[in-house]
Amino acid sequence: MPRTLRRLEADPEVSRLHHLLSAHGYFADRPPPDGIFETVTHDNVVLFQLQHVDRRGIALKADGVVGAKTWWALENPSGDAQRNHFQPYIPQGLEPKRRQLLELIYEEHGKPVFEVPDGSNRSPDIDGYWGQTGIIGQPWCCAFVSWALKEALGEYPIEGKHHIGVQNMWRAARRVEMETPAAKPGDIFVQIHSGGKGHTGFVVGVSTDGKSIYTGEGNCGNRLKIGKRRINTINHFIDCIRDGQTLEFGRSKFDVAAVESQTTR
């Protein structure tokens, strides 16, 4: 079994880590020194962890430490191994624009959308998520959020821009006071970690106990995915629809659908 790796530790396994991350499309902007677990490697490990789940379908802890769960995900970064088989569900009690947004997310999810070739950050659908930015082949979670908002709402609600970077999108949303403390379907979740590396997607449901969100997120397991994340792993929520949506929306049916689907793993 591979050893646990941490930043600044010397270990022959670091070269293997670099090879796997590079094969999955990381380090495209800044290759690391071979065999050294330095800051660039650490930040890319964090990004990989934000975008992948363990063998039980649970989001990896984004701490930059390469333990057994992260090694497994590095060796199983896509395909059926990264699916959790959650069934799409639109909660009752949503305002019309939120329902329309979730319907669009599920329509894209059902195609399905995944990277071709694997690890390339590309496919005909994924390339389309970049809109008129002139960019393709980069991490695309934020590009998907911007595209979906424009398709569902007819405009870019966060300062009128097609955002392509998680941290810049969050800063823009904060400037126009879109941060919200309580997650609602149709809101955006934001995770930002060391070096500004981040991940984002949509909230599509909230668990009955209020401790987890269900998500529709791009660039997770190299695909557009329905997932589940603990609320305490999310740094911020953005409400860019601002339609007065209350917290009185359906939750239990989404939990049932998720539990039932997990039995097929």
pLDDT tens figures, 10-55 = 678 898 999 899 888 888 767 777 778 888 899 999 999 999 999 9
pLDDT for residue 90: 94
pLDDT for residue 219: 96
59 pLDDT exceeds 90?
A: yes
pLDDT for residue 8: 62
Q: Which residues contact 128 (CB under 8 A, 6 or more apart)?
A: 147
For the chain, the average pLDDT equals 90
109 pLDDT exceeds 80?
A: yes
161 pLDDT exceeds 80?
A: yes
Six token digits for residue 158: 């966060």
Confidence class for position 202, pLDDT limits 50, 70, 90: very high
263 pLDDT exceeds 60?
A: no
pLDDT for residue 193: 81
pLDDT tens figures, 133-150 = 999 999 999 999 999 999
pLDDT for residue 250: 93
Residue 209: Cβ within 10 Å count = 9
pLDDT tens figures, 209-240 = 999 999 999 999 999 999 999 999 999 999 99
